Amino acid sequence: MFRFRLQRVLDMRARTERDAATALVSAQEAADAARDEQRRLERQREQLAAAQRTPDAAGASVGELRNLGFLLERMDEQVAGAAALAAAANDTVLEREDALRAAFRERRTLDRLREKHEDAWRAGEIAQDRALMDEIALTRFTTQGNSGKPGAAPASDAGSGS
């Protein structure tokens, strides 16, 4: 039975790869949520800006217009903050993708090494089997050559009456 001496390391690399994949999925979900929040804030800001441009806003008092302007500034700040969070989340996704690629490469390297060792072990087993079969065939051949008849016991001098 083949036993790979670095199997524990291979298992650990496979676990690291799974963890990296899980971290990537989490980062992608966080990035999606950050982009959704950014889009939501942008829509709110557009609605507020549209409300400022409507004909009803033309009859608004100076205080109301000033308040709308202040709200637009605050919404711009929130949109900028959400955009920064979305960009940071995208950077995290890229880092997680790099980590997953590295973990995959490390595991795949050990997988190939394991396959190479298993192939060498299998070739050794085949060579041993072949040597055993050759030895059996050689023994049969020499046994048959001594008796002259296939399957007969070797001739002995005890049966001749001299």
pLDDT digits (tens, 9 = 90+) for 91-109: 999 999 999 999 999 999 9
- Given this model, what pLDDT does residue 162 score? 45
Contacts of 103 (CB under 8 A, 6+ apart): 13, 16, 17, 19, 20
Domain carrying residue 35: 9-108
The region, left, alpha or beta by phi > 0 then psi within -120 to 50, assigned to residue 148 is left
Place of tokens 């995290």: 92
pLDDT tens sequence across 33-62 = 999 999 999 999 999 888 777 766 567 787
Mean pLDDT of 83-94: 98
| Contact between 4 and 114 (Cβ < 8 Å) | yes
Task: Please count the structural domains in the chain.
Answer: 1
Residue range 116-140: mean pLDDT, rounded? 95
Q: Helices 62-147 and 7-53, interaxial angle, to 10°? A: 160
- Tell me the mean pLDDT in the region 123-134: 95
The answer to whether residue 85 sits within a structural domain is yes
In a domain, 23, yes or no: yes
E-strand ranges in the chain read none
Q: Note the pTM of the prediction, 2 decimals.
A: 0.69
Tell whether 139 is covered by a domain. no
59 is a domain residue: yes
